[in-house]
Structure 1
Amino acid sequence: MDKHRRDESPSGLSDIVEQDGLLGTGITSRHIEAFGRKVTSTAGHLMGPADASNGHYHHAMADIQRELRRPNTQRKVFSLTQTTPTDLVRSKLSTTEIQSRAISSLPDDLLANIPDDSSSYSLFQGFQASQDDVEFRRAHRRRSSKGKKLLKDKDGADDEPPAPANLKKERDLLSRRMELMGVRKNMCSSEIHDIDNKIANLHNMRKIVLDRLAGLEMEEAELEHELTEVENKLEDIEEETPDVPPAATPKSSDANDDSIVSEDSAMDASFMSESIYQKLPSPKSVKQRSIRKRSMPVLHEHFAPGSEIKEMQAHSDIVTALDFDYPFGTMISAALDDTVRVWDLNVGRCMGFLEGHNASVRCLQLENNIVATGSMDASVKIWDLSRARSTTTRDNRLTRRDDDDESVQADDASVASHSTTLEDCFAYSLDAHVDEITALHFKGDTLVSGSADKTLRQWDLVKGRCVQTLDVLWAAAQASTLGSESTWRPSGRTPDASADFVGAIQCFDAALACGTADGMVRLWDLRSGQVHRSLVGHTGPVTCLQFDDMHLVTGSQDRSIRIWDLRMGSIYDAYAYDHPITSMMFDTKRIVTAAGENVVKVYDKGDGRHWDCGAGVGADETGPSPALVERVRLKDGFLVEGRRDGIVAAWTC
């Protein structure tokens, strides 16, 4: 009967709580509500005025003390404290409510990272301050308009002083507005602090993601290295199998056929004509081809321009030449210490030496694992780096089998022993010049070298022999006789005898650009061996040049960089520096220059801005100054510079 009566009641749950007590402890909701009202009233009196809280405080404390002294209340409280949390949850919360609370709950570590509110005012107070300020401005405008109207109505009468009541009201309004200004200033200040906290958190998140990206690129480099090893093993197996024809035979024949076709088609067009311009790869197409060939690192693109990536003590003397294939890839460096070193830019470690020259290397180029080096011993040597990579990895694997300390020492020893010579990398030597090689450039199967013997030689890299010799003095005399070039200048001044006669060259297809010590930039046609055009403008020896499908950029000892329009044959732009130019290179966005300073001079093509990059930026004048930069190379925003003290450093640009 009792249970049936409870179910029929419209407030059955209240009756259950009322009769059985909370959780079987005997405490009902009415007891809790009464106790809560007493605590609330006590707190209210304690927070009220001091003069009115004395009597209420004593009465309230007496009521609470009397309530707590009752044995029934004490038993109920003690039984409630003995109830376990599991019983509390099971008796009062349903499964759905437990799940919703679990989903909406926040861990303590998230709650601990909530920034403290630096504002001493609430959001409502800030809103009220803004609204009151708007109302104040409206009232002020109304009073001003009324005052102007009264002045017009008086029509020249004597001004009467304002009433004290109006002045007091004006003072109160201004004081109130000052208070509101303080509130609004505090709100703005707290908002700035919040923005600073958000920016700091975003910087931390960016650093975490950058570290993650660096780890991914390291793993990517290892996977690419393993893939290269597997491909090399497959090629070795295919070469050892007699039934399978060599894969290089059809490729070489196709290459020869292509060269014949291109030569025939090139003979029908004039030098540097539209047909050759169309063949010139734009920087965008070159980048796409390199991406398809190998994975390109992107970590350096997310650093601020001018950030140092790595610095290495590469040589013990002046760096004379350097080149690298792609960011964080392989670098070749040469110096006056008569060494040519191969570097892994990803870890900043020397992988080995290219030994074979009898003197220092003055110029070099790296392209698709093929290295061409020109030396003061009048020879050009060709190297194939793909032959040595697997040998290095096998030695490193053997050292990792030892103990930890011993493996590190053995690894260093293996690298040192292997890096003394890379004999397997040497392909062949090109020996025809009679004086030191000062400039070289190869594209495909054609290599052109310039020497102090005042000649240019064109080489066939497939056959390994010289196919054409160009005498610069004779060609200049012929062009002068035909009137297509001014007389062999020094144009009123004698060139520096210490300067390289052939300072820089670059070739593509049948087009060759050559800068010489007389300050001339000559454009050659390799099909006829004649100078097609001469660019006059520099007053000192040309030391570096580079062209694309539209412009030719040249650097000279006359302390200037000139940008030429190849289509018009005229100067497109020029800018000067304080010292002679020793090295220069450009990409789609920037031109980097080594101009006799301890920084690299950078020129942004887009906005025309000049800025410095390198160790000399912000260097302390009291301390030791970094050495002068001699050589620079730039690819895809990745800058490598070599200095007079043998240090090579990589930067974002």
Structure 2
Amino acid sequence: MDKYRRDDSPSGLSDIVERDGLLGTGITTRHIEAFGRKVTSTAGHLMGPSGDPATNPHYHNAMADIHRELRRPSTQRKVFALTQTTPTDLVRSKLSTSEIQSRALSSIPDDLLANIPDDSSSYSLFQGFQATQDDQEYRKSHRRGRSKGKKLLKDSEGQATPSASGDVRKERDLLNRRMELMGVRKNMCSSEILDVDNKIANLHRMRQIVLDRLAGLEMEEAELEHEITELDNKLEDLEEEEATQNQAAATPGPSGTNEESVGSEDPAMDASFMSESIYQKLPSPRSLKHRSIRKRSMPVLHEHFAPGSEIKQMQAHNDVVTAIDFDYPFGTMVTAALDDTVRVWDLNVGRCSGFLEGHNASVRCLQVEDSIVATGSMDASVRLWDLSRARSTHNDNRLNKRAGDDSIADNTAAHSTSLEDCFVFSLDAHVGEVTALHFKGNTLISGSADKTLRQWDLATGRCVQTLDVLWAAAQASSLGSDSEWRPTGRIPDASADFVGAVQCFDAALACGTADGMVRLWDLRSGQVHRSLVGHTGPVSCLQFDDVHLVTGSLDRSVRIWDLRMGSIYDAYGYDKPINSMMFDTKRIVAAAGENVVKVYDKADSHHWDCGAGVGADESAPSPAVVERVRLKDGFLIEGRRDGVVAAWTC
């Protein structure tokens, strides 16, 4: 008991350490003191002054040993290998595999960890591989032993021998084993299908992220394009001003100018002017100068959406949309309605840029080509506008007052544009409302309710020739090359336009009229080159390319003509009259009196619907009927009876 007696005195503790060692390890105080003296001596020799090798030989001996070791080839190879080792290899050499996995998972963000699919398979990869290999080996052995197994079954039916029963039992065990392997493989297939579904879901999420990124890039691209256009136009104006100033400085003024002669007018000049044609009295138009506004890179965002996806919808007008057109996807759109307004829109942001004011009645037809806009109105005039002359202004309260609707005012309130300088000139020669027009280059063709077509030269703003449709029909009837004008023997449809649609290209002109005829004119001679007979109602729309001409009529049919043969290539019908139609390289779209746009795929002859009326809830109010459609590069725009304009992918 004395051995375990408590003694807190210093002499008592030293006695215990001296007798039993430190904590029973056998190390006594004498050992600790000796170790301390050795460490102190070594550190003192190494860290002491090294000037005299005689007084401090340990430092020099240690350095000599280090230099000698470094001169060995094995040591040098180890040092070179260490310098070429990457930090990853260094970490792997110090950490275990489980610790590396733990640290890797802890450093991965939570959003990436959330996309890791769960392993729904109850079998490991090695088990699946083993099942596949065993099944392949069984198939090979089973082919060889199939005849033998059948023979064993026949033999076992006749007599029961131990060898036959053993073979049958072995065959049964093999089949059972194959059944088990089938279960493993089925489970693995199911797990693989779930993995593929998870990958597809992750890819859809990634696709949406990239689509949002693409949309942002195109928005930024449009802003940069707008800024570059403004700078280019400003530079052109500055260059014109400099050229004018230089010319004025180079030309000296006349000396001794008679002010009376300058202010007087020549009666002969005035008489000769009055004797000129009525078209000579048109005001001298400002030239249609195409400024640098052409798109440098076309938008591609709509090409990556599923067909029939809605891109944008806006309340453009308060009444029926009568005409609509745009230059390119997400570009500039111009709309007209029975509310007697013509609006210019920025499709990229869905905002109204301003009004085209000047017509005295509603606009029935219009076309947008680059920066030039042509509008045909019920006031019997055609007006030309150059949107490149527009000036950006601050908010204009007049626009809000003119809108008359909260939704339209919201679209028009911010970042409005002054379009007062966009007017170029007016073409006034028709005596009836203009119902159709088309221009290409410097040639514009207009069709009117006065039963005439007029060809205009946009360089001078004058009418080149007038084509009388009734006279051409009578001439063709007398020559026997065309059927006579046939009003079908019933009361004419008051809503049908006499000239429903026109399109020109160089000297070729196609015109669809209320008698259901499609006439192909030669503008060089002013004669009808060919007439296409087939429609039983007024032709309301048409479009042609280098091979086919597509026409839509109030007889509820769309017909595709082969221009090379002058005959019907294809035709299909709808339940209601066709009001508007257009096609591109892949599809034909039509407004057929319904709340959806009728789409026809030319490649596989597939019909489908596009628009707000597709899958609409019966309990909710039905969307308005589509009146006008335009299609370019898979970008579809529809105008409805309630003034709504929407953009879709097609």
Give the TM-score taking structure 2 as reference length: 0.72
Q: Secondary structure at the match of 2:537?
A: coil
Partner of 2:225, secondary structure, is: helix
Query: Would you say the 8 A contact 2:152–2:168 is kept in 1?
Result: no
What's the offset of the Cα at 1:313? 0.8
Q: Displacement of 1:422 after TM fit?
A: 2.7
CA distance in 2, matches of 1:593, 1:611: 11
Distance in 2 of aligned mates of 1:210 and 1:413: 27
Q: Which moved more, 1:461-470 or 1:334-343?
A: 461-470
1:620 equivalent in structure 2: 617
Partner of 1:606: 603
**Distance between the aligned counterparts of 2:544 and 2:24, measured in 1?**
100
CA separation of 1:178/1:361 partners in 2, compared to 1, >3 Å: closer, same or farther?
same
The one of 318, 333, 336 equivalent to 1:334 is 336
Please say if residues 495 and 541 of structure 1, whose CA atoms lie closer than 8 Å, have aligned partners that are also in contact.
no
Counterpart position of 1:314? 316
Secondary structure of residue in 2 paired with 1:374: strand
Q: Find out whether 1:343 has 2:340 as its counterpart.
A: no
Please say which structure displays the higher CA radius of gyration. Answer: 2
> Structure 2 unaligned runs (5+)?
1-22, 27-80, 93-99, 249-291, 397-408
Instruction: Tell me the equivalent position of 1:209.
Output: 210
Aligned to 1:439: 436
Contact 1:485 1:534 in 2 (8 A): yes
Contact preservation (8 Å) 1:380, 1:437? yes
Q: What CA distance in whole angstroms lies between the structure 2 residues aligned with 1:292 and 1:498?
A: 38
- Residue 641 (structure 1) shift: 0.7
CA deviation after TM superposition for structure 1 residue 184, in Å:
1.0
Query: What does the per-residue CA deviation read over 1:253-277, in whole Å, with 9 as the maximum and x for residues that have no partner?
Result: xxxxxxxxxxxxxxxxxxxxxxxxx
Among candidates 279, 298, 301, match of residue 299 of structure 1: 301
Helix, strand or coil: the match of 2:367? Answer: strand
Q: What is the match of residue 134 of structure 2?
A: 132
What's the CA shift for 1:539?
A: 0.5
Q: CA deviation at 1:235?
A: 2.1
> 2:516 matched to 1:519?
yes
Distance in 2 separating the partners of 1:548 and 1:343 = 28
Q: Distance in 1 between matches of 2:416 and 2:216?
A: 27
Alignment partners' CA distance in 1, 2:386 and 2:378: 21
Residue 552 of structure 1 contacts residue 566 of structure 1 at CA under 8 Å; is this kept in 2? yes
| 2:108 equivalent to 1:120 | no
Match of 2:19 in 1: none
Structure 1: which amino acid aligns with 2:299?
P
Identity of aligned residues (%): 78
For 1:4-33, what per-residue CA distance to the aligned partner results, in whole angstroms no more than 9, with x for missing partners? xxxxxxxxxxxxxxxxxxxxxxxxxxxxxx
State whether structure 2 residue 645 is matched by structure 1 residue 648: yes
How many Å apart are 1:648 and its aligned residue?
0.6
Distance 2:631 2:328 in 1: 9
Is the 2:586–2:602 Cα contact (8 Å) retained in structure 1?
yes
For 2:541 and 2:533, locate their aligned partners in 1 and report how far apart those are by CA, in whole Å: 15
Q: Does 1:190 align with 2:191?
A: yes
Q: Distance in 1 between matches of 2:90 and 2:198?
A: 29
SS of residue matched to 2:108: helix
Alignment of 1:150-229 (within 5 A): 159-160=158-159, 168-229=169-230
Selected match of 1:460 from 434, 453, 457: 457
Q: Which amino acid aligns with 1:309?
A: I
Change (3 A) 1:131 1:502: same
Stretches (4+) displaced over 6 A: 69-72, 102-105
Equivalent in the alignment of 1:11: none
Q: Are the structure 2 counterparts of residues 413 and 192 from structure 1 closer, same or farther at C-alpha, using a change threshold of 3 Å? A: closer
* 1:85 alignment partner in structure 2: none
Residue-by-residue CA offset, 1:436-481 (whole Å, 9 max, x unaligned): 1110111111111111111111112122222211111111101111
- Contact 1:598–1:614 (8 Å) recurs in 2: yes
Distance 2:489 2:370 in 1: 44
Q: Does the C-alpha gap of structure 1 residues 161 and 357 become closer, same or farther in structure 2, counting only changes over 3 Å?
A: farther
Question: Residue type of the partner of 2:500?
Answer: G
The whole-number CA distance in structure 2 between the counterparts of 1:70 and 1:164 is 74
Contact 1:396–1:414 under 8 Å retained in 2: no
CA distance in 2, matches of 1:453, 1:515: 15
The more displaced of 344-353 and 605-614 is 605-614
CA 1:420–1:199 in structure 2 vs 1: closer, same or farther (change >3 Å)? closer
Alignment of structure 1 residues 502-651 onto 2, 5 Å: 502-651=499-648
1:315 counterpart SS class: coil
Q: 2:379 aligns with which of 348, 354, 377?
A: 377
Q: Residue 100 of structure 1: which of 74, 88, 99 is its match?
A: 88
1:488 alignment partner, one of 485, 490, 493: 485
Query: Normalization by structure 1: what TM-score?
Result: 0.71
Q: Aligned in 2, Cα 1:95/1:420: closer, same or farther, shift over 3 Å?
A: closer
Letter in 1 for 2:496: A
Unaligned 5+ segments in structure 1 are: 1-68, 73-92, 247-289, 398-411
1:562-620 deviation per Cα after TM superposition (whole angstroms, max 9, x unaligned): 11111111111111111111111111111111111111111122222222111111212
Question: In structure 2, the residue corresponding to 1:343 is in which secondary structure?
Answer: strand
Secondary structure of 1:359's match?
Answer: coil
Going from structure 1 to structure 2, the CA distance change for 1:223 and 1:299 (only over 3 Å counts) comes to same
Amino acid at match of 1:563: I
Q: Which amino acid aligns with 2:108?
A: D
**What letter matches 2:614 in structure 1?**
V
Counterpart AA for 1:216: L
Is the 8 Å Cα contact of residues 495 and 540 (structure 1) preserved in structure 2? no
Question: 1:191 is paired with a residue of what secondary structure?
Answer: helix
1:165, 1:564 → 2: CA distance? Answer: 80
Quickly say closer, same or farther: Cα 1:421–1:130, change in 2 above 3 A.
closer
Q: Render the CA deviation track for 1:413-446: whole Å, top value 9, x for unaligned.
A: 9964985973211122111111111101111111
Structure 1 position 626, deviation (Å): 1.3
AA matched with 2:88: S
Cα distance in 1 between the residues matched to 2:479 and 2:426: 37
Looking at structure 1, the residues matched to 544 and 410 of structure 2 have their Cα atoms a distance apart, in angstroms, of 44
Q: Is the 8 A contact 2:634 2:649 kept in 1?
A: yes
CA–CA separation in structure 2 for the residues paired with 1:135 and 1:160: 31
1:593 maps to amino acid? A
**Aligned equivalent of 1:451:** 448
Letter in 2 for 1:376: M
Equivalent position SS for 2:572: strand
Kept after mapping to 2: 8 A contact 1:603/1:610: yes
Q: SS of 1:195's equivalent? A: helix
Aligned with 2:447: secondary structure?
Answer: strand
Name the counterpart of 2:41.
Answer: none
The AA in structure 2 aligned to 1:452 is A
Pairing 1:366–2:363 present? no
How far off is 1:196 after superposition?
1.9
Alignment partner of 1:612: what SS? strand
Distance 2:320 2:326 in 1: 18
CA contact (8 A) 1:495 1:518 kept: no
Distance 1:514 1:220, change over 3 A: same
Q: 1:556 to 1:170 in 2, by over 3 A?
A: same
1: CA distance between counterparts of 2:178 and 2:139?
9
Aligned AA (1:327): P
Whole-Å separation in 2 of the counterparts to 1:322 and 1:70: 101
Deviation of 1:296 after TM superposition, in Å, equals 0.7
Q: Determine the C-alpha separation between the residues in 1 that align with 2:514 and 2:165.
A: 92
Structure 1 residue 140 displacement after superposition: 4.2
Q: Cα distance, 1:116 vs. partner?
A: 3.5
1:430 to 1:292, Cα distance in 2 relative to 1, 3 A = closer
Which runs of structure 2 are paired with 1:15-30 in the superposition (5 Å)? none
Displacement after TM superposition at 1:171 (Å): 4.4
Query: How far 1:491 moved relative to its partner?
Result: 5.0
- 1:646–1:216: structure 2 CA closer, same or farther, 3 Å change rule? same
